[in-house]
Amino acid sequence: MITVLLVEDEVNLRTRFRKLLEEVIGGCRVVGEAANGCEALEWLKTQMADVVITDIRMKDMNGIELLKRLKEQYPSMPVVIVSGYGDFEYAKDAIKYEVTDYLLKPVDRVELNQVIEKLRKRLQPAAPAHSSAEPAEGEERQIIRKVKDIIASRLDQDISLQYLADQVHLNHRYLSALFKTESGQNLSDYVTACRMDKAKSLLRTTQLKIQDIARSCGYPNSKYFMSVFKQVVGSTPSEYRDRAGQV
């Protein structure tokens, strides 16, 4: 069970958010509520929570300021910001003070669930051991494994989220979220990484032309392939091959 300190200036929203966390998503308990940053800090003087979820715009002390203070006083405490503001300035400040996650209003259940999952993993590394959730998790793992197998077998072809979702009989959005929760990685980033691994191995072990390697890794356009390769690996394919050849 994750204990949460909820900081939000609107009472109604706070109440409903609490319900969402405790009843819909589950596994959470809101142990404290505060209307602004000052109250939150005051509350934390006497009590403790696993995580702080805060709004940005509040009277007396806003969420960014609170985040800053919290990072000073409790450096390891995760802080999640929930805000109507997607402004770059806020996001930048939030990243500067090492925000754990940044959710935009209106809050998407699926996204919130992902965040909570992530927090749970971080706070209770041994948690998966508890028995009731085991079959479900095993199933999820199986799905992810299956997806990964499919990806591995189709690296030279188009892989779309829809295709993968069809293969495992899941909604594509759900699959995407599930994948991210389980493997901690974006599905598309995972696919790209797999393709780059394949490319690297082809570059090392074969004398295939870069164009051919690109195609066998699912990139019909070799220029695009080279750009992605450079971004992921840090050098161009030919540089990589040269270096690999020297070793």
| Closest CB to another protein among residues 77, 232 | 232
12 belongs to the binding site for another protein (CB under 8 A):
yes
What is the 8-class DSSP label of residue 106? S
Q: Is 209 in the site for another protein (CB under 8 A)?
A: no
Q: How far apart are CA 58 and CA 63, in angstroms?
A: 7
Calpha distance 106→104 (Å, rounded): 6
Note the residue count of the chain. Answer: 247
Token representation of residue 77: 């405490």
Instruction: Look up residue 87 and give its two tokens.
Output: 């402004």
| Whether the Cβ atoms of residue 239 and residue 204 lie closer than 8 Å to each other | no
Q: How many CB atoms lie within 10 A of CB 182?
A: 17
> Considering beta carbons, is residue 43 or 179 the nearer one to another protein?
179
For residue 73, the minimal CB distance to another protein (Å) is 28
Asked if 107 touches another protein (CB under 8 A), the answer is yes
The yes or no reply on residue 246 touching another protein (CB under 8 A) is no
What is the nearest approach in angstroms of another protein to the Cβ of residue 149?
Answer: 15
Sheet of 51-54, strand order: 28-34, 2-7, 51-54, 79-83, 101-104
DSSP type of residue 25: I
Determine if 130 is a binding residue for another protein (CB under 8 A): no
Q: Which of 1, 3, 20, 22 binds another protein (CB under 8 A)?
A: 20
Q: Which stretch binds another protein (CB under 8 A): 7-15, 38-46, 129-137, 203-211?
A: 7-15
Residues 52-81, one symbol each (x = binds another protein by CB under 8 A, - = not), give -----x------------------------
User: Kind of pairing, strands 28-34 and 79-83?
Assistant: unpaired
Per CB under 8 A, does 172 bind another protein?
Answer: yes
Q: Going by DSSP bridges, is the β-strand pair 2-7/28-34 parallel, antiparallel, or unpaired?
A: parallel
Exactly one of 81, 187, 202, 210 binds another protein (CB under 8 A); that residue is 187
Please give the residue ranges that form the binding site for another protein (CB under 8 A): 10, 12-13, 16-17, 19-20, 24, 57, 84-87, 104-109, 158-163, 172-173, 187-188, 191-192, 195, 218-221, 223-224, 227-228, 230-231, 234
